[in-house]
Structures are given as structure tokens and as C-alpha cells.
Amino acid sequence: DPKVQAFMHYYVSSALECQIDKQGRILLPPILREYAKLEDTVMLTGAGKKFQVWNHAAWQDVFDRSEAAIFADPTSFFGDIKI
């Protein structure tokens, strides 16, 4: 939907330019690393056509809660979503 895309690009994206070093690594600015509490170990996760970078402990919490919600009642869970 073009309206959703326009909204996401303007209001939600908060885009910041990142550098790529000589080894091909994306260097996240300190403000993003601090906001996401990124430390020694991070999780790079798939999100459809995007990817996300998570603090390891925060991702584990989100993953565990998601897993519990799915397996508590899989039929009901998957019956309510469209993927």
C-alpha cells in the first residue's frame, strides 16, 4: 500500500546513514547501539524483506514469549493470523 509505505518512510524509519568498513561490516552509529543496548553478542533476525539487529538477551525474551504464544494453542494462533 503506497500510503503505508509513505508513512513508514517519513514517520517511522528514522533512517541514519551507516558506514561499511573494508571487511564489509555495517557500522552502526553509537546512538543506535546504545538505544538497542547492543553489546558483544547481537542477534541478526529475518523479518520478511527486512532484517533486525537485537540485543541477545532482549531477542531471547521476545523469541521465548513468541514461542509460548504459538505453542499454547497453535490452531487458534494460526487461525487468527494471515501469513
Write down the pTM of the prediction. 0.68
Looking at residue 75, its pLDDT comes to 79
Cell 543496548 belongs to which residue?
37
Q: What is the pLDDT of residues 45-75, one digit of tens each?
A: 998 888 999 999 999 999 999 999 888 888 7
Locate the DSSP E strands across 1-83. 19-20, 26-27, 42-47, 50-55
Measure the CA–CA gap between 60 and 43, rounded to whole angstroms: 9
